[in-house]
């Protein structure tokens, strides 16, 4: 009886933790199966510099970030504010973020709906802040998922 029960539990753990991959010691459990070890090492770093504002608006088939290009300094923050034409969101274009920046960028984008994508802003005045503290200088692109087909994008140049 007892032996049968343990065997059953061990089999289930194996299926859940490994999903067909190579066998691993059951002692480490599902926590050890997380593939995102690089991402989990960074923690949120609040802005220490200027807070910029970018408006998100739209009507008809024209949706935009204003300004659509912004030059900031590492340590600044950008507050994206829905004005009209919502719902909007702010997603960091993954291709614009070098591999060695992703962990910190992701950590600096709280409340994500998917990787480096903020929550939906559904009313006027709703906002989403991204901190650029400890973000390497470079050119980053954000887009709005609901209005991708209208090319709703902005370029953030971090100096």
Residues 6+ apart with CB under 8 A from 5: none
88 lies in the binding site for Cu ion (CB under 5 A): yes
Written as one string, the DSSP assignment of 20-42 is TS----GGGTGGGG-S-TTGGG-
Q: How far is the CB of 153 from Cu ion (least distance, A)?
A: 10
- Both tokens of 83, joined, read 């004005």
Smaller CB separation from Cu ion, 26 or 83: 83
- Interface pattern 133-152 for Cu ion (x via CB under 5 A): -----------x--x----x
Smaller CB separation from Cu ion, 107 or 152: 152
Which residue stretch of 25-33, 45-53, 62-70, 95-103 sits at the interface with Cu ion (rule: CB under 5 A)?
Answer: 62-70
Smaller CB separation from Cu ion, 133 or 141: 141
Judge contact between 45 and 107, C-beta under 8 A: yes
Residues 6+ apart with CB under 8 A from 61: 150
Positions that interact with Cu ion (CB under 5 A): 63, 88, 144, 147, 152
């Amino acid at each position: 009886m007892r032996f049968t029960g343990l065997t059953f539990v061990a089999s289930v753990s194996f299926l859940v933790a490994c999903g067909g991959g190579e066998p691993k010691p059951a002692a480490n459990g599902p926590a050890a199966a997380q593939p995102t070890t690089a991402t989990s090492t960074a923690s949120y770093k609040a802005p220490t510099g200027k807070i910029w504002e970018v408006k998100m608006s739209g009507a008809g088939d024209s949706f935009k970030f204003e300004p659509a290009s912004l030059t900031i300094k590492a340590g600044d923050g950008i507050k994206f504010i829905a004005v009209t034409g919502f719902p909007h969101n702010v997603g960091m274009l993954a291709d614009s973020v070098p591999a060695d920046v992703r962990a910190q960028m992701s950590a600096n984008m709280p409340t994500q709906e998917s990787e480096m994508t903020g929550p939906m802003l559904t009313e006027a005045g709703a906002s989403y802040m991204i901190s650029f503290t400890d973000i390497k200088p470079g050119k980053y692109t954000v887009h709005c998922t609901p209005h991708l087909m209208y090319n709703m994008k902005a370029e953030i140049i971090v100096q």
